[in-house]
Amino acid sequence: MTSKVGYNIDLEKRLQGSVPKKGHTQAHPTLLSSTSSSDDPRDVLQGEDRAWFSHWKPFLAGLLLSLVVVQQFPRSEQPVICSPNASSVCPAASPIAPSVHADLLKQLEISYATEGFKINSFALLGGAVKIPTEMFDDMKVPGQDPRWDVFNQLHGYIDSHFIQVYRELRKTTINTYGLVYHWQGSNPDLKPLLLTAHQDVVPVEPLTVDTWLYPPFSGTWDGKWIWGRGSCDDKPGLIGSLTAIEKLLEKGFKPQRTIVLAFGIDEERGGIVGGTGIRDYLLSAYGPNAFALLIDEGGTLEAHSDGVIATPAVAEKGHFDLRMSISTPGGHSSVPPEHTSIGILAALIAELEANPFTPHLYRNEPYFTALQCQALVDPEMDDELRDLIGKARYSDKALADLEERLFRNPLSRALAGTTQATDIVHGGVKTNALPENAFAIVNHRIAGHSSVSTVKTHIAAVLLPIVKKFNLSLDAFGESLNGELSQKTSGHLKLSDAWGTALEPAPVTPWLKNPAYDLLAGTILNVVKTSARWNNPDIPVIVAPGTMTGNTGITGI
């Protein structure tokens, strides 16, 4: 693709200025979490599993309408600076609004402001949330695992609630459940736009169901929030895109530029079936470098008292799931060795956690640019930090001081470096039997300046002293690193890619003098300035490049 800019449209809900963030597990965090907080006690319960919105659908419609009707991308020879006193480190495109179809957008905005439309929107998303399209790491391909069957229910729901989309757009199914919709434009000389989302959600731990304020697949609207798994990630992207297209079709709108919608089915496990299948189909049907712009989930829209900061993600971290498998002799637990396989595994996990990856700020990365932009408009930022961010542009000492201050915050560390989290541990089958096998899976999100091979090298180096301490043989990603071990070892450690889904950090979409980025940024600027939340064309709005800490649904595109 020629350009990839991620932007999670459902995060328009943050325009309301009262969305809680403390304890929030949304995968696309704010730049500096210390600048906002919430006293909402529900916020520590289910994290991302509720969505609150009354303006995100109009925002999406305005964005789609602008993207659809603009025939040529804006020229970016002279980037507009966010502030008269700002450095060119924080550029942004000029606001872009539809001209030919300005009246149509006004009609849609009036429609979206009605109570009936809002109630219907809540019901549409809630209905989709009720369908438990859970994605498990161990699912076989469609047709060989009954857990896929629930996706049929979601497809029926989409077909019955988005009648115009069903009638007017050409639908192709990929690997049974992946969906690609084609909306033909009138001008074949314009490259299509590609809008993506994913249908699947993270599974719910059965033992936690009773702790939910509302059942995890209730889709309950409590007057402010839509509750349930997938209410943020990513069914608002799915339902929001379809709603915007449906309303445009109802108005008889005909795009000049072809629009393609692609909805994955297994984003939550890396897109093994859905992402790769959709990728291959799009390359076959449209060819390489066929799309003018790809918009996926990823990014934030933050409301502050004196301005708005939007950070569409132009970068995406890599992904690597480490599997550490320990094998030791079995036996009866009444005559145990000094350390069982589970005990050794615990030591390995502790060693990894004691030696995390060191985060760094790099001046050429999106996060650094986003910090510069935030310093321009965020009135909640203290002057000392604002000054330090500015000086870091040219002073290495200031850059180091900024790292020291920012990295006290886990969120800032996560945005600036590679992260690791031990998420799965398994071992033992009986209380009186020594565990012969134990394993753990450690999830890594790889910083843009790093790589899968760098992560593997770090892991092997960190664990080697523990391997020697317990006299283990070692297979580190296919390489034997036994070194100075005695002839008789007490066990074997194998390090491997848990699911075979390792993914390098995505290439960064240029945000300077890039017509594709300027189109998205300019549209965001205009929609925010004209939204019902402010209706103030003079409100300061900054669009800065962001980084997605997760991985998007159409993996491999």
The helix or strand, by DSSP H or E, that contains position 109, with its residue range, turns out to be helix 102-112
**Residue 220 DSSP one-character state:** -
The dihedral region occupied by 289, where left means phi > 0, alpha psi between -120 and 50, and beta the remainder, is left
Q: Which two tokens stand for residue 314?
A: 């132009």
3-state secondary structure of 39: coil
3-state secondary structure of 268: helix
Partners of 421 in beta bridges: 443
Provide the CA 442 distance to its chain's centre, in angstroms: 19
Cβ proximity of 420 and 442 under 8 Å: yes
| Among 438, 374, 446, 364, CA closest to 406 | 374
| Among 128, 106, 94, CA closest to 10 | 128
Annotated catalytic residue 267? yes
Q: Which of 49, 267, 297, 365 is catalytic?
A: 267
3-state secondary structure of 536: coil
Amino acid at 281: Y
Q: Which of 12, 200, 296, 316 is catalytic?
A: 200
Cβ proximity of 194 and 291 under 8 Å: yes
How many helices (H) does the chain have, and how many strands (E)?
14, 20
DSSP letters, 145-172, are -GGGTHHHHHHHHHHHH-HHHHHHSEEE
Would you mind telling me the total number of residues written for the chain in this entry?
557
Amino acid at 272: I
Partners of 313 in beta bridges: 6, 546
Q: Which two tokens stand for residue 370?
A: 């986003």
3-state secondary structure of 50: strand
Question: CA-CA distance, 260 to 194, in Å (whole number)?
Answer: 5
**Residue 356 DSSP one-character state:** P
- Tokens 């060819």 found at: 287
Cβ proximity of 158 and 259 under 8 Å: no
* Catalytic residue set: 200, 267
